[in-house]
């Protein structure tokens, strides 16, 4: 906007051009790696969100002994969902399908990340900055 343009113009007037900070433009490979990291973060967030939705169903159904720890693996989730009253079953099954899809996508992304690491060891620093 106009205010930002004015601030940038004043900054340029105050400092010689060679003293201004330089931000390197990422090449295609770096951009792809960053995109992969962002995608992994988004799918991880979706996984957490879906597990939380499933856990809230158990809480609504009064099954407070089922914790998020019980919902970590596919097998445990299926066993736990069988304990839900029938009125919660369909929603829980839809959430299970979402969780399966998210976990499949995360595995695919993990494989892509491993391939990218084999090609470029410097990518490890970007990977280490990712949550989860």
Per-residue pLDDT tens digits for 35-74: 998 999 999 999 999 999 999 999 999 999 999 999 999 9
DSSP code for 23: -
Domain boundaries, the chain: 27-128
Q: What is the overall mean pLDDT for the chain?
A: 90
* d(C-alpha 102, C-alpha 105), whole Å: 5
pLDDT at 5: 93
Q: Provide the whole-model pTM.
A: 0.75
Per-residue pLDDT, averaged over 118-128, amounts to 76
Which class for 33: exposed (0-12), middle (13-18), buried (19 or more C-beta within 10 A)?
buried
Q: Which of 78-82, 108-112, 121-125 has the lowest mean pLDDT?
A: 121-125
pLDDT at 20 over 80: no
């Amino acid at each position: 906007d106009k205010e930002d343009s004015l601030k940038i113009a004043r900054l340029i007037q105050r400092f010689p051009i060679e003293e201004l900070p330089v931000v390197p433009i990422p090449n295609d490979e770096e951009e792809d790696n960053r995109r992969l990291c962002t995608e992994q973060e988004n799918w991880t967030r979706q996984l957490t969100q879906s597990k939380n939705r499933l856990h809230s169903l158990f809480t609504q159904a009064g099954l407070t002994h089922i914790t998020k720890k019980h919902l970590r693996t596919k097998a445990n989730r299926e066993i736990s969902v069988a304990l839900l009253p029938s009125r919660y079953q369909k929603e829980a099954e839809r959430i299970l399908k979402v969780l399966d899809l998210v976990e499949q996508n995360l595995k695919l992304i993990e494989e892509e990340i491993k391939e990218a690491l084999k090609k470029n060891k410097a990518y490890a620093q970007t990977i280490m900055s990712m949550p989860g």
